[in-house]
Structure 1
């Protein structure tokens, strides 16, 4: 279990690595771990291949639209940009609009021109 520490060392992470890299261990290491009840990790299923492309809008476009809606609602009510802790209530529940704006800024090089234009229209200065 990663996170279990002893004298500042993450023993859980170490143990997970031993199980994951079992075939790289020598016979003596495998034997000693086996005496402690440690076994080779079961083979993980391969993740499905990504089907999205690097450029253009992603499948998360709905999330972007929800964030944009929350930002528009906040700006209309408050007249300025939200702080990091701002939460906006939409029909489907609360949206952490302040964090969302920060995330968009961090990812601005991956936003398409239409997304940047929508943010700029709401007054986001870094999107211009």
Structure 2
């Protein structure tokens, strides 16, 4: 039933009517709907921004493995539907993982990390 409540707009008028009138089910409110999933490219961009923020503050990218960096994420292009929020990211583990996966990273990503002081060895 959760699927019907959340996907109410995708149901036909007859389905909506039956759910409301026969079963007493109403559409889910905005606060009940799941958050949209974050793409891998968006996750990369968030972690890269956190690593850049750490580098600008500390002057190096020798991040302790357990370090959590909080960045402000949200609307940068004026999209009013997306509010700004603090996002804590495990940037220490992420930097360590990127270092160990250096051989499989794209040249563009290697360049982005090198630009902010990544030590590859």
Residues matched between the structures, number? 69
Residue 94 of structure 1 corresponds to which residue in structure 2? 88
Could you tell me how far 1:105 is from its partner in structure 2? 1.4
Correspondence list, 1:63-82, <5 A: 63-81=43-61, 82=63
Structure of greater Rg: 1
Structure 1, unaligned runs of 5 or more = 1-58
- Cα distance per residue 1:33-62 (max 9 Å; x no partner): xxxxxxxxxxxxxxxxxxxxxxxxxx6222
TM-score of the aligned structures, taking structure 2 as reference length: 0.52
Structure 2, unaligned runs of 5 or more = 1-38, 74-86
Question: RCO higher in 1 or 2 (8 Å CA, sep ≥ 6)?
Answer: 2
Could you tell me how far 1:110 is from its partner in structure 2? 1.6
- The answer as to 2:119 corresponding to 1:125 is yes
SS at match of 1:124: coil
Deviating beyond 4 angstroms after TM superposition, the runs of 4 or more aligned structure 1 residues are none
SS at match of 1:117: helix
Correspondence list, 1:1-128, <5 A: 60-81=40-61, 82-92=63-73, 93-126=87-120
Q: CA RMSD in A?
A: 1.6
TM-score of the aligned structures, taking structure 1 as reference length: 0.50
